[in-house]
Amino acid sequence: MNCRSEVLEVTVEARQVEEAMLALLHTILLHRSTGKFHYKKEGTYSIGTVGTLDFDCDFIDFTFVRVSSEELDRVIRKAVSEFKDALSNSGSDGMGQISLEFYQKKKSRWPFSDECIPWEVWSIKVNVVNLANEQERQICREKVGEKLGEKVINVVEVINRHEYLPKMPTQSEVDNVFDTSLKDVQPYLYKITYQITDSLGTSVSTTMRRLIKDTLAL
Amino acid sequence: MDSDLSPQDKKDLDKFIKFFALKTVQVIVQARLGEKICTRSSSSPTGSDWFNLAIKDIPEVTHEAKKALAGQLPGIGRSMCVEISLKTCDKDIKVSYTVYNRLSVLLKSLLAITRVTPAYKLSRKQGHDYVILYRIYFGEVQLSGLGEGFQTVRVGVVGTPVGTVTLSCAYRTNLAFMSNRQFERSAPIMGIIVDHFVDPPCSSQRPANMGQPCNYRAPDEEDGGTFAGVQDSQEVCTTSFSTSPPSQVLHAGKEGGVVLVPAQPPHGADAHITVEHAPNTPSSSGDDDGLSQSAEGRRDEGRRSVSPADPVESLSAFTRKVGAFVNKPSTQVSNILTSLDLPFAAFAPRGLDSEENDPMVQPPDSPPCPSPLQASLHSQGSEGSGQQDDFVMVDFRPAFSKDDLLPMDLGTFYREFQNPPQLASLSLHISSQSMADDLDSLPEKLRVYEKNIDEFDAFVDMLQ
């Protein structure tokens, strides 16, 4: 199947990177998480409830809604924090990309490991700028807030096109479709990766990853 | 196409639509309360968490929504609209888990979108200068209050066997407020709506199309009785789903909940992928019942007829026709208008409970303007001069500031500090408290001073 891929692009100040990424990643995950499944006899299951929480950004004039799950928030924050550190340490122009990929696992026979088949990939391109004075920062605060609002609308439009979603799995298959490790919510299986574009415009890590993938793909 | 739907399926779909409508209204109104929302995720479902989302039910809002629905459901030709105003106001789809799940995703999208429109920021700052109101009505969506250049966002669509549920939002982008012309415009609007009221409003009442305040306060005990009706008809939502094939028909569970069969056989076909929109059936009838808030029993002692708050947002919850029902937010700042005898007085902001405090009747004093050239968004003085809706938004260019390089700093400063939050020490009950304390301590102080009168005299002599 073709994997649906969406790209979002934002231009932010260095201190806004973290919150901008959190806003977009959490908005996507809000739509791609369900309550916990509890399988019962006779092939029925019940679904838990997803709570939501409004989060005010400190460096951006923006509020977003995220899933009310501290565990999930921790995982996302850790990934975003790594991305932010990589971005600031890279010495590049401050361009990078963080990707949120939803995938399904397909069991393969031994000795081959399980295949991960992505069905939706969100790429968020980040462009970091440096601002000279407080007045510009204030304008940036509001502008970035507006831009993030537009991105949320884009996300919502894409998601509501109702294109492919994995079908609801049986109990034995649930770990191939959902991430069941969290206590209170159940997002679709996802992984977050990032890459930093160096000043030459080429992405070093992507090249490496492609090489490795190609080698192992047999 | 109804003939293809079994009665049980139709009943379930109607139930989904009804609760989707109620939950949509809750999401929209809660997004405009001015507070941050936080609900908990729970791994064990309860019967009341519709669409697997923890959305609290505010009793007053449920009551209003049920009143607006009045036993009918949004249908083709009968869109349900939620208006937010600011005031100084297919193919066939089986009824199955697919539809339920998609409605759930749509509600999540609505949660996200309601924080993005300009009205959200305004609603977070509401309080002493203005309040945000909401109004639910049926029928044709009224976009005229949004001004020119309003934007529309389509939140999403969900196809059902009897039609397509479309959720969209239109919001005002032009923040130049309208002038006194509102007075004339209000009359015809009132004229249209008057037919739908249970109790005909008299001119002294607050115009019905102003809506309820989005200002939630936990109801006092005596108010609890008013909403007893809400509890009676609580229906249990689906808590159980099945992985069995879709050929099994939906059947009601024992507790009154419904056991849904998701549209997926355990092997093979992916029912989720296909979204088949029901064919565009012509409207069932011409009746456009525009239901809106009833003005029953509201009195405004001696208040002149005021123009309604300009609509800020119009969130059309959903319609069953193919097409958008539009939520339009329209922002318009006007004075706070609250009536003493609102049926949902619990919603009214505190402190405005006597006519003396009613800014409509006695406009607030004009605050000192930083420069005579400005007409700023926050300057309540211009509003208070007896023309309630005479707001003109102009570019804020502070006097004595340079035009080119850094014009903004002074302007930003003005803007920020023109609307400061109320000082705690100036709030009414604290100041009255300290006043009482002062008065009590006066005799004591006088005694001390009299004792030391010689010292004071000597001091005064020294100064001369």
| Predicted pLDDT at A204 | 56
Residues with Cβ within 8 Å of B399's Cβ and at least 6 positions away in sequence, in order, are B370, B371, B373
What proportion of chain B, given as a percentage, has pLDDT over 70?
43
Q: Write the DSSP string, A10-64.
A: EEEEGGGHHHHHHHHHHHHHHHTEEEPEEE-GGGEEEE-BEEEEEEE-SSSS-EE
pLDDT band with cut points at 50, 70 and 90 for residue B252: very low
Please give the mean pLDDT across all residues of chain B. Answer: 61
Judge whether B328 and B169 are in contact, CB under 8 Å: yes
ipTM: 0.84
CA angle A26, A29, A31 (to 5 degrees): 115
- The torsion angle over the Cα atoms of residues B386, B388, B389 and B392, rounded to 10 degrees, is 50
Read off the pLDDT of residues B283-313 as tens digits, 9 standing for 90 and up.
Answer: 333 333 333 333 333 333 333 333 344 455 5
Among A50, A135, A153, the residue with its CB nearest the CB of B113 is A153
| Predicted pLDDT at B315 | 55
Residue B35 domain-assigned?
Answer: yes
Which contiguous run of DSSP H or E holds residue A204? helix A204-216
CA gap B432, B462 in Å, rounded: 38
Judge whether B76 and B2 are in contact, CB under 8 Å: no
The b/e string for B275-305 (b: 16+ C-beta within 10 A; e otherwise) is bebbeeeeeeeeeeebbbbbbeebebeebee
Among A31, A48, A153, the residue with its CB nearest the CB of B44 is A48
Among B38, B52, B121, the residue with its CB nearest the CB of A53 is B38
Residue B190 domain-assigned?
Answer: no
Residue A200 domain-assigned?
Answer: yes
Read off the pLDDT of residues B216-238 as tens digits, 9 standing for 90 and up.
Answer: 544 444 333 344 333 444 566 66
Which contiguous run of DSSP H or E holds residue A212? helix A204-216
Q: In terms of domains, do B165 and B111 share one?
A: yes
Residue A211 domain-assigned?
Answer: no
Neighbours of B394 (CB within 10 A): 11
DSSP state of A163: -
Among B39, B239, B406, the residue with its CB nearest the CB of A46 is B239
Which contiguous run of DSSP H or E holds residue A187? strand A185-187
Q: In terms of domains, do B55 and B101 share one?
A: no
Judge whether A60 and A1 are in contact, CB under 8 Å: no
pTM above 0.80, yes or no: no
Residues with Cβ within 8 Å of B186's Cβ and at least 6 positions away in sequence, in order, are B207, B209, B305, B306, B307, B308
* Number of domains comprising chain B: 2
Which residues on A lie below 8 Å from B409 (Cβ)?
134-135
Residue B343 domain-assigned?
Answer: no
CA gap B91, B159 in Å, rounded: 9
The domain of A111 spans 4-204
Judge whether B84 and B214 are in contact, CB under 8 Å: yes
| Predicted pLDDT at B111 | 93
Instruction: Please classify residue A190 by burial: count the beta carbons closer than 10 Å to its beta carbon, then call 0-12 exposed, 13-18 middle and 19+ buried.
Output: buried
Residue B55 domain-assigned?
Answer: yes
| Predicted pLDDT at B79 | 78
Residues 192-211 of A with CB under 8 A from B: none
Q: In terms of domains, do B57 and B111 share one?
A: no
Length of chain B: 464
| Predicted pLDDT at B367 | 41
Comparing alpha-carbon positions, the chain A residue that sits nearest to B154 is A157
Sign of torsion, CA B397 B401 B403 B409? Answer: negative
- Provide the H-helix boundaries in A101-203: 134-159, 174-177
* Number of domains comprising chain A: 1
SS (H, E, C) chain B: CHHHCCHHHHHHHHHHHHHHHHHHHHHHHHHCCCCCCECCCECCCCCCCHHHEECCCCHHHHHHHHHHHCCCCCECCECEEEEEEEECCCCCCCCCHHHHHHHHHHHHHHHHHCCCCHHHHHHHCCCCCCEEEEEEEECCCCCHHHCCCCEEEEEEEEEECCEEEEEEEEECCCCCCCCCHHHHHHHHHHHHHHCCCCCCCCCCCCCHHHCEECCCCCCCHHHHHHHHHHHHCCCCCCCEEECCCCCCCCEECCCCCEEECCCCCCCCCCCCCCCCCCCCCCCCCCCCCCCCCCCCCCCCCCCCCCCCCCEEEEEEEEECCCCCCEECECCCCCCCCCCCCCCCHHHCCCCCCCHHHCCCCCCCCCCCCCCCCCCCCCCHHHHHCCCCCCCCCCCCCCCCCCCCCCCHHHHHHHHHHHCCCCCHHHCHHHHHHHHHHHHHHHHHHHHHHHHCHHHHHHHHHHHC
Among B241, B266, B270, the residue with its CB nearest the CB of A44 is B241
Comparing alpha-carbon positions, the chain A residue that sits nearest to B243 is A43
Whether chain B has a CB inside 8 Å of the CB on A52: the answer is yes
Q: In terms of domains, do B65 and B118 share one?
A: no
Residue B123 domain-assigned?
Answer: yes
Residue A164 tokens, joined: 């492919």
Instruction: Please classify residue B149 by burial: count the beta carbons closer than 10 Å to its beta carbon, then call 0-12 exposed, 13-18 middle and 19+ buried.
Output: exposed
Whether residue B452 has pLDDT greater than 70: yes
CA gap B133, B32 in Å, rounded: 8
- pLDDT tens sequence for chain A (218 residues): 567 789 999 999 888 999 999 999 999 999 999 999 888 877 788 889 999 999 999 999 999 999 999 999 999 999 999 999 888 887 667 789 999 999 998 877 777 777 888 999 999 999 998 888 888 889 999 999 999 999 999 999 999 886 788 888 888 888 999 999 999 999 999 999 998 876 555 555 555 565 666 666 54
Residue A36 tokens, joined: 């916990």
The domain of B137 spans 97-173
Residue A217 domain-assigned?
Answer: no
Contact B52 A47 (CB under 8 A): yes
CA gap B454, B207 in Å, rounded: 68
From B260's Cα to the closest Cα of chain A, the distance in A is 9
Contact B43 A135 (CB under 8 A): no
Residue A42 domain-assigned?
Answer: yes
Residue B389 domain-assigned?
Answer: no
Residue A46 domain-assigned?
Answer: yes
Least Cα distance to A50 among A39, A64, A34 occurs for A34
Residues with Cβ within 8 Å of B194's Cβ and at least 6 positions away in sequence, in order, are B200, B201, B208
Q: In terms of domains, do B105 and B167 share one?
A: yes
CA gap A126, B378 in Å, rounded: 36
Whether chain B has a CB inside 8 Å of the CB on A118: the answer is no
Whether chain B has a CB inside 8 Å of the CB on A131: the answer is no
Q: Report the DSSP beta bridge partners of residue A44.
A: B242
Q: Which amino acid is at B226?
A: T
The b/e string for A137-154 (b: 16+ C-beta within 10 A; e otherwise) is ebebbeebbebbbebbbe
Residue B311 domain-assigned?
Answer: no
Residue A160 domain-assigned?
Answer: yes
Residue B49 domain-assigned?
Answer: yes
Residue A166 domain-assigned?
Answer: yes
- What CATH number is associated with residue B138? 3.30.900.10
From B32's Cα to the closest Cα of chain A, the distance in A is 12
